[in-house]
Amino acid sequence: SAVISQKPSRDICQRGTSLTIQCQVDSQVTMMFWYRQQPGQSLTLIATANQGSEATYESGFVIDKFPISRPNLTFSTLTVSNMSPEDSSIYLCSVAPGQAETQYFGPGTRLLVL
């Protein structure tokens, strides 16, 4: 497995602003992912964070709204841009160590947009 931390753990933001969420892993991992979990809902993949290249976004998610960085094999950031109340969610990063398909999740960032 892997030890994953996220910052901030929670935040309350004003609409129109942006928030950058950090994800740190205790070991080098090939695959990192960002998910959104809307209140009381399941998890939806936003994008795969690729080291050294642009992130791969899922249908319904665009780079302008959710820019992602992956500067190395242990760190990634997700920015939620120009926020609206509909962006209030839990944002989770996950990692898949090695070439295995098993994913481990961080504790999440709980975002409330007013």
Residue numbers of the site for another protein (CB under 8 A)? 1, 4, 31, 33, 41-45, 48, 56, 58, 92, 96, 101-108, 110
Which residue, 81 or 110, is less far from another protein as judged by CB?
Answer: 110
Which run of H or of E encompasses 112?
Answer: strand 109-113
> Whole-number minimum distance, CB 48 to another protein, in Å?
5
> Whole-number minimum distance, CB 103 to another protein, in Å?
6
Which residue, 45 or 81, is less far from another protein as judged by CB?
Answer: 45
Are 66 and 81 spatial neighbours (Cβ–Cβ below 8 Å)? yes
> Whole-number minimum distance, CB 33 to another protein, in Å?
7
Are 90 and 108 spatial neighbours (Cβ–Cβ below 8 Å)? yes
43: burial class by Cβ within 10 Å (0-12, 13-18, 19+)? middle
